[in-house]
Amino acid sequence: MLTYQYYKVNEKIMQEKQENQSKKYLSVAELAKILGVSRITVFNRIKKGQIPAEKIGRIYAIPMEYVNKLATDDLSEEKKEEIKKAVEKAVKEYGKTLELLGKE
């Protein structure tokens, strides 16, 4: 499930990249739309230093270089293992419930 979301986000990034080739920066709202998260989440990640951004006046501008990096980065082996463990844990804890939901 998480890898599916990763590829959907990657697909959105590539599409946005093609549409905005001349742009050097994205707004917080544009990046939030691409990532499928809220603007607040993007702001929080900027404040934590997880997303590079330049403050221009009262707004943040996210460099397209960062978006391009997101689109071309593959999951590291460490991240893949982390996802695998999370999925296994969820299946172990909620397997019966997931099975019942799958039958509906």
pLDDT for residue 34: 84
Tell me the C-alpha distance between 32 and 28, whole Å. 6
Give me the chain's average pLDDT, please: 80
Residue 41 has pLDDT above 90, yes or no: yes
Count of other CB atoms within 10 angstroms of residue 78: 8
Q: What is the pLDDT of residues 49-100, one digit of tens each?
A: 999 999 989 999 999 888 877 766 666 788 778 888 988 888 888 888 888 8
Tell me the C-alpha distance between 57 and 104, whole Å. 51
Which residues have C-beta within 8 Å of that of residue 80, sequence separation ≥ 6? 3
Report the length, in residues, of the chain: 104
